[in-house]
Amino acid sequence: MTLRNRPDRWGGVSQLLHWLVVALILTTGTLGLVMGDMRNSPTKIELYALHKSLGLTILALATLRLLWRLYAGAPRPVPGPRWQDRLASLTHWLLYGLLFAIPLSGWTFNSAAGYPLQWFKLFNLPALVKRDADLRQLAGNVHELLFWTLAGLAMLHAAAALYHHFLQRDDTLARMLPRGWLRHRTPTPFIQD
Ligand code: HEM
Ligand code: HEM
């Protein structure tokens, strides 16, 4: 497997970071939605701490990913209409923006609420802002709103990938997966006897 991106496919590093972040977003988002409705208990506190540690991990991976993307570039767009390339690029950059904005709004909420912040009980992280009730309210709302924006955009993005694979029958999805995992199906020519 090539680590660097090539003109015709994403390399191993971009693929690994893409799918790892997808899995982490699913876990962290689900935890976020579940933990708020729980009764106060030690488990609830543990889940909040886990949510924050996973969220900070996403922030670190998003940084790594962006740096790698700037260094290693991207494959050439799969041939298709120009508007599709433009829309795909816009979606990708919006997704990148959200991968930063969501953890940072969560961190701001946590700081404004005056809660401590640790990464997997290994080390403490500083507060981003001073304790502030209004900011806490605002950052909490922004955190939730941005999460739902990501959920909507990621669904459209995944639907587009599936559309390319099953209807357009091109390599868009196959080239974001290890070689050989998906074979794109070229249309069978119509043969008349
Ligand atoms: C990409 C990463 C993250 C995702 C997808 C995410 C998602 C969510 C979701 C869906 C909720 C529930 C919102 C609601 O229904 O009110 C939530 C709540 C929360 N998140 Fe995150 N979060 C992330 C990162 C973080 C980080 C890094 C922190 C802190 C450093 C954090 C702190 C919190 C806190 C404290 C709450 C509870 C808010 C409240 O009590 O109103 N989150 N998050
Ligand atoms: C939380 C969910 C997701 C996020 C945040 C996300 C984010 C991204 C980003 C930022 C890129 C651009 C890559 C780059 O420029 O480095 C990308 C590409 C891609 N994603 Fe996702 N993605 C998500 C879920 C999915 C899912 C579920 C699928 C498949 C069903 C998928 C399929 C793809 C494909 C095929 C590409 C490459 C597109 C191309 O070559 O033009 N993604 N994704």
Q: State the distance from the centre of ligand 2 to the C-alpha of 18, rounded, in angstroms.
A: 6
pLDDT at 23 (0 to 100): 98
Between 3.30.420.40, 3.30.565.10, 1.20.950.20, 2.30.42.10, what CATH number should domain 12-176 receive?
1.20.950.20
Q: State the distance from the centre of ligand 2 to the C-alpha of 17, rounded, in angstroms.
A: 10
Q: State the distance from the centre of ligand 2 to the C-alpha of 65, rounded, in angstroms.
A: 12
Tell me which residues have their CB closer than 6 angstroms to ligand 1: 25, 28-29, 32-33, 36, 51-52, 55-56, 58, 102-103, 106-107, 109-110, 117, 140, 143-144, 147
Residue whose Cα lies nearest atom 18 of ligand 2: it is 92
Alpha carbons within 13 angstroms on the beta-carbon side of residue 70 total 7
Under-50 pLDDT residues of the chain: 188-189, 192-193
Q: What is the 3-state secondary structure (H, E, C) of the chain?
A: CCCCCCCCCCCHHHHHHHHHHHHHHHHHHHHHHHHCCCCCCHHHHHHHHHHHHHHHHHHHHHHHHHHHHHHHCCCCCCCCCHHHHHHHHHHHHHHHHHHHHHHHHHHHHHHHCCCCCEECCCEECCCCCCCCHHHHHHHHHHHHHHHHHHHHHHHHHHHHHHHHHHHHCCCCCHHHCCCCCCCCCCCCCCCCC
Q: For 143-173, how does the pLDDT look when each residue is reduced to its tens digit (9 = 90+)? A: 999 999 999 999 999 999 999 999 999 999 9
Q: State the distance from the centre of ligand 2 to the C-alpha of 50, rounded, in angstroms.
A: 25
Does ligand 2 lie within 6 Å of residue 74's CB atom? yes
**How far is residue 3's CA from residue 101's CA, in Å, rounded to a whole number?**
28
pLDDT at 120 (0 to 100): 98
- Average pLDDT, whole number, for the chain? 94
Nearest ligand to the C-alpha atom of residue 147: 1
Which of 114, 152, 119, 149 lies closest to 130 in space, CA to CA?
114
Domain boundaries, the chain: 12-176
pLDDT at 193 (0 to 100): 47
